[in-house]
Amino acid sequence: MDANENQECWKTTPNLTKFTAVEKDVSCMRELEQNVKKYLPGDIMVDLHLAPAQKWQGPLEKADLVFSIHSIYYFKEEDRKVIFENCFNKWLKPNGKLFILMNKDKFDTPTPYYLNDIFRETGRVPLIESYIVKKELLKLGCTIDRSFHYQYYQDLQAGYDHAVPFVMIHANPPYENEEVPKKAIMKLIKRGNKGYASGTMFSVIEKY
Ligand SMILES: C[S@@+](CC[C@H](N)C(=O)[O-])C[C@H]1O[C@@H](n2cnc3c(N)ncnc32)[C@H](O)[C@@H]1O
């Protein structure tokens, strides 16, 4: 659970009165519970569901906003379709918005960005990028409303433990073993690459 990004997202919803979350992993859910206690004002109604989002029955009441924060990579194409359709047909109020936050696409990070540098160094592409997600949404009749970008310095050495498991799951074609990305990161560090993290968040609405 990235507390910084969660804090930033919560800052964007100053009128929040109700917070519903779906998480399929027990330990991640525990972390979420702690972050909710730490960062959300106590008067907000919280409703947490331990379930795979693609099979979740949905909120009791329709929502104004749905946030997908660094989680879209974990869904197969057919699951993404189910989630997007549920968002606009069942979970969101009319005029509701879906926000998707994810890593920047490889082509979109010409300046150092450590995850994409690992993919570049090893001849891989990320399994899922925002241009693919946007194409799927457009095919469903949605409109990409606005896009926001961020970038911040992140020490490569410090991000090492976090980056290796992530790229192991998200590299296309897949890595044979962990040694491949590990070696690439060491090479980048030795080369003096400081490492940045960046991302993109875009909002999605139903076509007018
Ligand atoms: C990289 S973490 C991001 C967590 C959080 N949104 C953040 O930014 O700190 C991805 C999260 O998605 C969850 N996840 C993966 N597949 C899921 C699924 N099918 N349904 C619900 N949650 C899922 C993982 O358990 C993990 O907590």
State the closest ligand 1 atom to the C-alpha of 31, by its place in the atom list counted from 1.
27
pLDDT tens digits, residue range 124-135? 999 999 999 999
In this structure, which residue's CA is closest to atom 12 in ligand 1?
71
Q: Which atom of ligand 1 is the closest one to the Cα of 101?
A: 8
pLDDT averaged over every residue in the chain: 90
Average the pLDDT over each of 51-60, 87-96, 154-163 and give the range with the smallest value.
Answer: 154-163
- pTM of the model as a whole: 0.91
What is the whole-number distance in angstroms between the Cα of residue 174 and the centre of ligand 1? 20
Which pLDDT score, from 0 to 100, does residue 10 have? 67
Pocket probe mutation, ligand 1, options 24, 27, 30, 167, max atoms within 8 Å of Cβ: 24
- The pick from 4, 36, 71 for probing ligand 1's pocket by mutation, whose C-beta has the most ligand atoms within 8 angstroms, reads 71
Question: In angstroms, what is the span from residue 71 Cα to ligand 1's centroid?
Answer: 5
Point out the ligand 1 atom lying closest to the alpha carbon of residue 22.
21
Task: Give the residue carrying structure tokens 């192991």.
Answer: 168
Radius of gyration of the chain measured on its C-alpha atoms? 18
Cβ–ligand 1 contact at 1 (below 6 Å): yes
> Taking the C-alpha atoms of 64, 98, 60 and 22 in order, what is their torsion angle to the nearest 10 degrees?
-130
Is the CB of residue 205 below 6 angstroms from any atom belonging to ligand 1? no
CA dihedral 103, 178, 50, 47 (to 10 degrees): -40
* pLDDT tens per residue, range 176-185: 999 999 999 9
Confidence of residue 2 (pLDDT cuts 50, 70, 90): very low
Cβ neighbours for 196, distance < 8 A, ≥ 6 positions apart: 111, 112, 113, 114, 151, 152, 153, 154
Model confidence at 168: pLDDT above 80: yes
Closest residue by Cα to atom 15, ligand 1, is: 74
What domains are defined for the chain?
52-206 (3.40.50.150)
Average pLDDT, integer, range 186-194:
86
Residue (of 102, 73, 100) closest to 168 by Cα position: 73
State whether the beta carbon of 187 lies less than 6 angstroms from ligand 1.
no
What are 5-48's pLDDT values in tens digits?
556 666 777 889 999 999 999 999 999 999 999 989 899 999 99
Dist. CA 191 → ligand 1 center (Å): 32
CA–centroid distance, 68 to ligand 1, in Å, is: 9
